[in-house]
Structure 1
Amino acid sequence: MEQDNLSVVLHSQGDLRLEKRPVPEPGPNEVLLQMHSVGICGSDVHYWQHGRIGDFVVMKPMVLGHEASGRVVKVGSAVKHLQVGDRVAVEPGVPREMDEFFKNGRYNLSPTIFFCATPPDDGNLCRYYTHSANFCYKLPDNVTFEEGALIEPLSVGIHACRRADVTLGSTVLICGADLFPERLAMAKELGADFQLTVKRGDGPQQLATRVENMLGDQPHITIECTGVESSIQAAIYATRSGGVVVLVGLGSEMATIPLINAAVREVDIRGVFRYCNTWPMAIAMLASGKVNVKPLVTHRFPLEQAVQAFETTRQGLGIKVMLKCDQNDQNP
């Protein structure tokens, strides 16, 4: 094991550094992971560029990264289900206490939850990282480290679909990729039936009409992934009466929306905050081949080139930029 722990550390707005930190020791219920693949999320870039997301403010140096997988290199004394050498995916949100949210299965809503790379909690964009063993999930042999890292964003989708009650036969509108032709092309490649490019000057109601004309009917469910006010408005207008709008994207705290339109048509508006209880399903999806996330990785960088990787993400040059943390294994 290396003696230094190269880490990507955000000190303050715009101040991103590579630093060598000590290799941590796992507690009784933790494992020490040699990190392998860590994806860069939009939230990582946002913290770098703005120093905060809402009420979460970077007040002290923080290791970034929360879309992660790695290999177990040491286990805590109380850990029974994992052993050295196991390949695992990391669920970044770990409840700190057994509160009412934990007990009713919605631990993502616990106000005291630990979450990687959300101030003041450090993330896992580093060579070595300790994490609760109960929130590390063994990867089947046919699931790669990169797929393991992509379970985190996949989990956002799974949780959103659960919140929306998506079932076989549901017609679903997804708002979020429509300003970038290459992302629309990727959506089509991965299973979207139709793509709609937003035109300059399109109003929310015009967009809703275009959606209905394209589908031949209004969608049962709309999953809004931008947080942009006009997109939320379009999502509500586009959804059929009795349907559901799920808000995944986070924007301004206040938004003007056609609430009465939704109310009189009994369109439910539901929020999403991260995910919970999704890793087993996501792993099963990937292992079975029912879901293919591999094409989403468009760029790979060694950990030493983290600043360049973050700049690539900021410029929107790829879909998912992956950092490779193990010097001796740069494979997917």
Structure 2
Amino acid sequence: MVFAATPPHHGTLTGFWVAPFDFCYKLPQTVSLQEGALIEPLAVSVHIIKQAQLSPGNSIVIMGTGPIGLLCGAVAKAFGASKIIGVDIVQSKLNFAKELGFTHTYLSQGISAEDNAKAILDKSDLGQGADIVIDASGAETSIQTSLHVVKAGGVYVQGGMGKADITFPIMAMCQKEVTVKGSFRYGPGDYELAIELVSSGRVPVKKLISDVVDFHQAEEAFKKVKEGQVVKVLIAGPNEPVQVKRLDALS
């Protein structure tokens, strides 16, 4: 798989970018180019939710409410999840998750994984655990907490990528007979489904666009994203005029 902007391959901050025809998807008239720019991360989230085999009425906890975690929640809502709980260490991100349709949020505390898990279950009224838990952060503490949040016989999907080796609560996984799955980018049908979710209005990706900035502001935009001050920033092309806005969506 060739992934733009992943070395040694160049990214797409250019006027033209060549891709194989069979890797291209035509956007419906109802989907704007700005929304189209978010089809790729949405396809990643679609793949994660498909890996989880979510059914209508399931409860789901999403560890990490960055763009992928947020979109996982949006897809879960579109698929009929009954409870969608977002967990993060940044309150502003959790506030945005509520705006996107998450039913509950939890600000992770500097306590043990077991205690954080108990607090999540209590605050969200999840009883013995969530049907599905997704880690979209890659953080070791989040992964550890996840295995204590998922119910016996539940599904855990690793969507975030962090350190190559971590301390994993294998006893909790075994005792509860948890189904553990990994998720890597996307597979057949994920792009088509992502486009359909946007074109039908079931996933409002435009809400994630914090700003559209001039090409010469690209460096500042990357800095704001790294600092967690925005969700998604679109960069206009070198010759594309745009009304530059303030980059303060999450401040």
Instruction: Describe how 1:144-293 pairs up with structure 2 within 5 A.
Output: 144-177=32-65, 178-199=88-109, 201-216=110-125, 217=127, 218-277=129-188, 278-293=190-205
Aligned mate of 1:128, from 12, 16, 34? 16
Greater Rg, structure 1 or structure 2?
1
Aligned amino acid, residue 183 of structure 1? K
Deviation at 1:235, TM superposition (A): 0.2
Look up the SS of the partner of 2:180 in the other structure. strand
Pick the structure with more helix per residue.
2
Length, aligned pairs only: 218
Q: 1:323 maps to which residue? A: 235
Distance in 1 between residues matched to 2:242 and 2:57, nearest whole Å: 41
Deviation at 1:114, TM superposition (A): 1.4
TM-score, scaled to structure 1: 0.63
Q: Extract unaligned runs of 5+ from structure 2.
A: 66-87, 244-251
Pick the structure with more strand per residue.
1
Matched, 1:301 2:210: no
Matched, 1:119 2:10: no
Look up the SS of the partner of 1:130 in the other structure. coil
Q: Extract unaligned runs of 5+ from structure 1.
A: 1-112
Q: Share of identical aligned residues, percent?
A: 33
Distance in 2 between residues matched to 1:175 and 1:312, nearest whole Å: 22
Distance in 1 between residues matched to 2:134 and 2:186, nearest whole Å: 15
Map Cα deviations across residues 212-251 of structure 1 (whole Å, 9 max, x no partner): 1123221100010111111101000110000011111111
Distance in 2 between residues matched to 1:290 and 1:190, nearest whole Å: 11
Aligned mate of 1:143, from 31, 34, 45? 31
Distance in 2 between residues matched to 1:214 and 1:305, nearest whole Å: 41
Q: 1:310 maps to which residue? A: 222
Look up the SS of the partner of 1:207 in the other structure. helix
Distance in 2 between residues matched to 1:265 and 1:203, nearest whole Å: 19
Look up the SS of the partner of 2:17 in the other structure. strand
Aligned amino acid, residue 207 of structure 1? N
Deviation at 1:138, TM superposition (A): 0.6
Deviation at 1:327, TM superposition (A): 2.4
Deviation at 1:305, TM superposition (A): 2.1
TM-score, scaled to structure 2: 0.83
Q: Which structure 1 residue ranges, 4+ long, deviate > 6 Å from structure 2? A: none
Q: 1:29 maps to which residue? A: none
Instruction: Describe how 1:77-92 pairs up with structure 2 within 5 A.
Output: none
Distance in 2 between residues matched to 1:132 and 1:122, nearest whole Å: 15
Deviation at 1:266, TM superposition (A): 0.6
Map Cα deviations across residues 15-44 of structure 1 (whole Å, 9 max, x no partner): xxxxxxxxxxxxxxxxxxxxxxxxxxxxxx
Instruction: Describe how 1:42-81 pairs up with structure 2 within 5 A.
Output: none
